[in-house]
């Protein structure tokens, strides 16, 4: 970099250092802290994600266990008790009903979070106005 360029750079830095602006509202911090206090904690929000992940892992393990058990039974009985078509139909049923069973509590769980967010937004609006 040549000298002129360095000078311009230094001047820009000197000028821009004076461009820091502050919010005009005197109660900016308090207003923000109020919103934060009303908000669900980050730990709670983080655990929402793990709850879903756990549910999926649980479902996958359950399906894998079922398939293994059915294959072992089929193997031991030389296919007398279970053949591949029944194995498939059992798996499909399991996935369908299992999904349904998981869906209902999950739906209500997230419905609750949705309601919470809506209430929170309303509270924020009331507080700001």
Using CB under 8 A as the binding rule, whether residue 129 contacts other proteins is answered as no
Q: Which of 1, 3, 15, 129 binds other proteins (CB under 8 A)?
A: 15
DSSP annotation string for 1-53 = --HHHHHHHHHHHHHHTT-----S-TTHHHHHHHHHHHSPPHHHHHHHHHHHH
- Choose which of 1, 2, 3, 16 interacts with other proteins (CB under 8 A): 16
Contact between 17 and other proteins per CB under 8 A: yes
Is 51 a binder of other proteins (CB under 8 A)?
no
Give dist(CA 93, CA 99) in Å, integer: 10
Q: Which is nearer to other proteins, 23 or 79 (CB)?
A: 23
φ and ψ at residue 60, rounded to 5 degrees = -65, -40
With a CB cutoff of 8 Å and minimum separation 6, the contacts of 98 are 59, 62, 63
| Contact map string, positions 89 to 118, toward other proteins, x by CB under 8 A | ------------------------------
Stretch that binds other proteins, among 5-13, 56-64, 88-96, 99-107 (CB under 8 A): 5-13
Question: Binding to other proteins by residue 21, rule CB under 8 A?
Answer: yes
Residue 1 sits in the site that holds other proteins (CB under 8 A) = no
Find out whether 47 and 79 touch, Cβ atoms under 8 Å.
no
Closer to other proteins at the Cβ: 94 or 109? 109
d(CA 71, CA 34): 58
């Amino acid at each position: 970099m040549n000298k002129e360029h360095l000078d311009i750079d230094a001047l820009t830095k000197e000028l821009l250092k004076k461009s820091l602006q502050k919010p005009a509202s005197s109660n900016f911090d308090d207003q923000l802290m109020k919103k934060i206090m009303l908000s669900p904690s980050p730990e709670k929000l983080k655990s929402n994600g793990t709850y879903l992940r756990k549910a999926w892992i649980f479902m996958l393990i359950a399906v894998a266990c079922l398939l293994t058990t059915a294959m072992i039974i089929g193997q031991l009985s030389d296919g007398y008790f279970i053949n591949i078509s029944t194995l498939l139909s059992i798996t499909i049923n399991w996935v369908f009903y299992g999904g349904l069973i998981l869906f209902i509590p999950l739906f209500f769980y997230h419905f609750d979070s949705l309601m919470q967010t809506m209430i929170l937004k309303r509270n924020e609006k009331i507080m700001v106005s």
